[in-house]
Amino acid sequence: MITVPVALGDRSYDVLVGRGARHRLLEVLPVGASRAAVVTQAGIDVPVDAGVEQRTFVMGDGEPAKDLETVEELCRQFSRWGLTRGDVVVAVGGGVVTDTAGFAAAVYHRGVRWVAVPTTLLGQVDAAIGGKTGVNLPEGKNLVGAFWQPSAVLCDTETLETLPPREYRSGLGEMAKYHFLGGEALADCNLDERVARCVAIKAEVVASDEREGGRRAILNYGHTLGHALETAGHYDLRHGEAVAIGLVFVAELAERLGRIDRARVDEHRRVVADYDLPMNLPPDADTAQLVELMGRDKKAINGLTFVLDGPAGVEQVTGVGASDVEAVLKGMAA
């Protein structure tokens, strides 16, 4: 078992990575909790034992369930059961579950403690780490949320063995991102080590900028276009697949703006290709719509804003010209 600390002062917690990590739930349960509300989805067969009175609450499947209606329903069910501020919410599932249940925990009784048990690769390397919880609006992804750190995160890599291949590949999109944030040696690691290394990179960034006042924005590398593709709603893309396209896009954009050379772009393409992820926009991509959606991104400052590679490494860049963005998008159409 690999333990990765997330150093946040009195809100610090550990991320446990390895086979069977979910069986350590009782050890990491917050002191004083006498009830555990386990939030999951119908298709997730990952039993957990909190060692206290527990009840399972099942939310809907997929991104459509990641909304305010689900949060309200969860909170109402918590209330009817009698969950108190001293108890705990346990989120068991992928990023949709941990984002939604974590946000419900943040707002119920103005904040109850929670533990994340991510069961997908995407959840283990990214979504469940760092305390960003939230849900979507029709206008965009993650526009309503809260910074609410968990008490612990249990990344049980045994749960990845039964993931559908495409769901696993979606997680590889986030893993590909970490290659450009200090994870160049990921290719030489086994699965547990890869997950732990991604967690460690994210934990270090979160510890330096918990509420995304500056540096934490680099964790959104590739996500601005990725989120726009998801928000558009009519492309057959999982989150990690959309992020993979976004990684190639920001590399091409950075080259167009003179920030990196062609060799660095080719490196992005090689990493994405090694994970067997898409690199081009869908043939029917609506570039005007994508530019509009990227302009609505909650991280947008002074016009179009992207996280781009450059001489000083990956950093947030504001005021990018729409004409440059449109030119790169058109060049990436399959």
Q: Is 268 a catalytic residue?
A: no
204 and 225 in a single domain? The answer is no
Q: For residue 184, what pLDDT is reported?
A: 81
pLDDT > 70 in the chain, percent:
98
pLDDT > 90 in the chain, percent:
88
199 and 54 in a single domain? The answer is yes
pLDDT tens for each residue of 43-57: 899 999 999 999 999
Domain carrying residue 130: 2-208
Are 186 and 198 contacting, i.e. CB atoms less than 8 angstroms apart? yes
200 and 245 in a single domain? The answer is no
280 and 186 in a single domain? The answer is no
6 and 69 in a single domain? The answer is yes
Last residue of a domain, one of 208, 229, 260: 208
Q: For residue 298, what pLDDT is reported?
A: 55
Banded pLDDT at 302 (limits 50, 70, 90): low
194 and 230 in a single domain? The answer is no
Query: Considering the chain, what is the average pLDDT of its residues?
Result: 94
Q: Is 179 a catalytic residue?
A: no
**Residue 75, domain CATH:** 3.40.50.1970
Last residue of a domain, one of 173, 208, 243: 208
Q: Is 223 a catalytic residue?
A: yes
pLDDT of 113 > 60? The answer is yes
- Over residues 12-39, mean pLDDT: 97
Asked whether residue 216 is domain-assigned, the answer is no
Catalytic residue among 216, 238, 259, 268: 216
Q: Is 259 a catalytic residue?
A: no
Last residue of a domain, one of 208, 232, 264: 208
- Over residues 126-140, mean pLDDT: 93
70 and 164 in a single domain? The answer is yes
Q: Is 132 a catalytic residue?
A: yes
Asked whether residue 229 is domain-assigned, the answer is yes
Asked whether residue 132 is domain-assigned, the answer is yes
Q: Is 227 a catalytic residue?
A: yes
Q: For residue 301, what pLDDT is reported?
A: 61
pLDDT tens for each residue of 223-251: 999 999 998 878 889 999 999 999 999 99
Asked whether residue 201 is domain-assigned, the answer is yes
Give the chain's length: 334
Q: For residue 4, what pLDDT is reported?
A: 98
198 and 239 in a single domain? The answer is no
pLDDT tens for each residue of 56-99: 999 999 889 999 999 999 999 999 999 999 999 999 999 999 99
Asked whether residue 58 is domain-assigned, the answer is yes
Catalytic residue among 110, 139, 190, 302: 110
Q: Is 212 a catalytic residue?
A: yes
Q: Is 234 a catalytic residue?
A: no
pLDDT of 334 > 70? The answer is no
What's the whole-model pTM score? 0.90
- Over residues 18-30, mean pLDDT: 97
How many structural domains does the chain have?
2
